[in-house]
Amino acid sequence: MLLWPLLLCPRLALAADVSGAARLQLSTGLDTNPGRDFGDAATPDAMASLSGQLQGQLRQDAFFLEGSYELGGRAFATSSAADLWVQAARASASWAPWTALTFGVEGRAKDRHAGSRGRGYADLVGGPFVAARPSKTLSFELHADAHRFLYRDAYAYSFGAGELSLLAHFQPTRRQGFSLSLLAADERYATQAVGFSGDELGVRRDDHRVGGAVQYRYRGPFALAVGYGFQSVGSNSFGEAQRSHRFTASVGLRLPQRLMLFVEGALQLTQYPDGVYLSPQILLLEDDENLSSATARLVRPLNAHLDVELRYSLYQTALPQNGLHYLRQLATAGATFRF
C-alpha cells in the first residue's frame, strides 16, 4: 500500500523515514450466541479465530503517508452458518506546510462476509481533512467525508451519506487528556420511506444523524478512561428513529508476575420515538457499539514479541416495545505475535 511512491521515486525512498509493523492474533473459546440472535433459542458453540494486521508509515519532510490492512476470520464447530471473515483497510496522505497546520485526505474500507446468516456488508468512508495544533496542549481535526454503506442481505438498508465531523484533543498535563467529537450526517437510503401502516410514502428514505462524545483519560500508575456519548437519528420512515446515551469506562492495571488486567464497560440507554425499532442494523457492528457490554482481559507478555491473553465479554440489549432481548457471552484464550 505504501510502496508505490517509493517505486515511482527512488530518491524519495532514500530520503524518507519509513517504518512498519505486523501483528498476528489467534484465539479459541466459547460463544453462547454464535448467530447473534434475539431471544432464548441460542445454542453455545466452540469457536476459533485468526486475524492479522499490517501497517506502515512514510515521512518525507512535510509529507506523510500512512496505511494499514487487517484480515480476520472466525469459525464455529457446529454453527457454520455463523462463520465470518472481515477485511479492513485504511490509508491517509497529509501535507504539513506549517507546524500548526496539516492538510490531508483519508479513506477507510471494511468488507464483512458472514456465512448464510446474513449481516454481510461493505462500508466505505473517505474525504479531505484539515488539522490544526494552535498549542502543545490543544489540537483539532475537521473531516468532510462521503460514506457509502452496502448491506448485501437487505439492500433497502444500503445508503449514501455526506458526513461532517470535528475532533478536538486537550492535554493539560502529561498524564491527563480530554477529547471531544461531533458528527452530523445526512443518509439517503436505497428504498422509499414507509408509514405507520407499512405503506410506501412515495419519497426516498432520508435519515439525519447527529451526535457527540466527550472522554477523559488518565495514564499514570494505572490507565483510566471515562466517557459519555449521545446520538440522535431522525427518519422520515416509521420505526427507524432512535436516540441513545452511552456511558463508557475502562481501567488498566499492572499486576504481579508481569500480568496486566484491562476492564471495560459500556451502558447503552436507547429510546425509540416511534415506539418500536425495525432496522436489522442494530447488530451489524462487529465491536457491538450498539449494545451494553462488559469485558475483562488478563494479559501476560512472554517476551517482546508474544503475549498470551484470557478474555471474557458480555453483550446485552433489549427492545421492550418489540418484546425482544439479546444476550451474548464470549470467553476466549489466545496469543498475539508482533513483528
Q: What is the pLDDT of residue 6?
A: 47
CATH assignment of the domain containing 109: 2.40.160
pLDDT value, residue 8: 47
What pLDDT score does 296 carry?
Answer: 98
> What pLDDT is attached to residue 2?
45
Structural domains counted in the chain: 1
Q: Phi and psi of 155, rounded to 5°?
A: -60, -25
Compute CA 142 distance to the chain's CA centroid, rounded to the nearest angstrom: 19
Q: Please give the residue that has the higher pLDDT: either 45 or 116.
A: 45
Q: For all residues of the chain together, what is the average pLDDT?
A: 90
Q: Which secondary-structure segment (H or E) carries 7?
A: helix 4-8
pLDDT digits (tens, 9 = 90+) for 108-118: 999 998 876 66
Contact at 8 Å (CB) between 321 and 272? yes
- As a whole number, mean pLDDT of residues 134-160 equals 93
> Does residue 266 surpass a pLDDT of 70?
yes
Dihedral of alpha carbons 110, 114, 115, 120, sign: negative
Mean pLDDT of all residues in 52-79: 95
Residue 163 pLDDT level (bands cut at 50, 70, 90): very high
What is the percentage of the chain residues whose pLDDT exceeds 90? Answer: 72
Quick one: average pLDDT of 235-260? 95
Q: Which residue has the cell 453455545?
A: 44
More confident residue, 281 or 195: 195
Q: What is the pLDDT of residues 205-214, one digit of tens each?
A: 999 999 999 9
Return the pLDDT at 198: 84
Helix (H, G, I), strand (E, B), or coil: what is residue 33? coil
pLDDT-based confidence at residue 325 (cuts at 50, 70, 90): confident
- Domain residue limits at 194: 4-338
